[in-house]
Amino acid sequence: MRGKGGANGNCFVLSTGARIPAIGLGTWQSGGDICVEAVSTALKVGYRHIDCAHLYENEAEVGKALAEAFSGGLKREDVFLTSKLYFATNSQKRIENSVRVSLKNLGVSYLDLYLVHWSESSAFGDATDPPWNSGSDYRQFLQRLKPTWKAMEDLVEMGLVRAIGHQFRLLLDAEKG
């Protein structure tokens, strides 16, 4: 799984063959000029993976930093961009609109990776989102995930994203069981 990419030269290979740099800059809880500066600095020092989400409300700032880097000679294909879909809908049109908003805010024509984001519908929970109490809740979640996954596959076919995934892949593996 090692290769070139990222600040330290290591990467992982996705099932699509794409290489995702092992080290990236996460933009959660970063906003305004600080976000622009953080992304700009990361790109200048060699980071080539930027992780964001529409839910973070900072993709416009990430986009501003990307535009500066691209105008300075960095190529779009040399930056691996990940964004996420908040799993609150399984409507094909809303999912497509969501990715298009991210693309517009980021100022790019495609995402390298689009993930289903951890949601209030999580099976495993965390400190603010306790785990489900029954297997039927989990099965209902998997049923809701199916049309979302199909809509995300359509995004790949449209060329809006190059790879898709779930932030916690175990959810998909559990269905195969």
What amino acid positions are annotated as catalytic residues?
56
Q: Which helix (H) or strand (E) holds 109?
A: none
Amino acid letter, 124: F
Question: Are residues 21 and 6 in contact, defined by beta-carbon separation less than 8 angstroms?
Answer: yes
Q: Which two tokens stand for residue 155?
A: 């995004």
Residues in contact with 160: Cβ distance below 8 Å, sequence separation at least 6, in sequence order: 96, 99, 100, 103, 110, 111, 114
Q: Which two tokens stand for residue 96?
A: 């497509």
Is residue 110 helix, strand or coil?
coil
